[in-house]
Amino acid sequence: MADEKTPATADNPYTQIYTVQSGDTLSKIAQKYYGDASLYPKIFQANRDQLSDPNRISPGQKLRIP
C-alpha cells in the first residue's frame, strides 16, 4: 500500500521510468513528458521515496514518470 514516501506508482511495473541525464531538472523532464514544465511536482511526488528536494536530482537516478 502507498504511504507518504512510497507512492502508489512504486509497485506498478507499467509506470514509465526515466533515467536522469546530466543537466536534467524535474522541470525539463516534465516538459518532455507532459508538455508542461509546471507539472514537475507530479514527478517529484511519484518519487518521494528517493527525492527529498525537487531541485536535487542526479544523473543515473531512475525516476517514475506517472
Applying CB under 8 A, which residues contact other proteins?
A: 8-9, 12-19, 31-36, 38-39, 42, 66
Q: Cβ 42 to other proteins, closest distance in Å?
A: 5
Q: Which cell is 60 given?
A: 543515473
Q: Closest approach of Cβ 9 to other proteins, in Å? A: 7
Helix (H) or strand (E) holding 17: strand 16-19
Q: 57, 33 in Cβ contact below 8 A?
A: no
Which lies closer to other proteins via its Cβ, residue 51 or residue 63? Answer: 63
CB of residue 53 to other proteins, shortest distance in Å: 21
- Vertex 25, ends 15 and 54: CA angle to 5°? 75
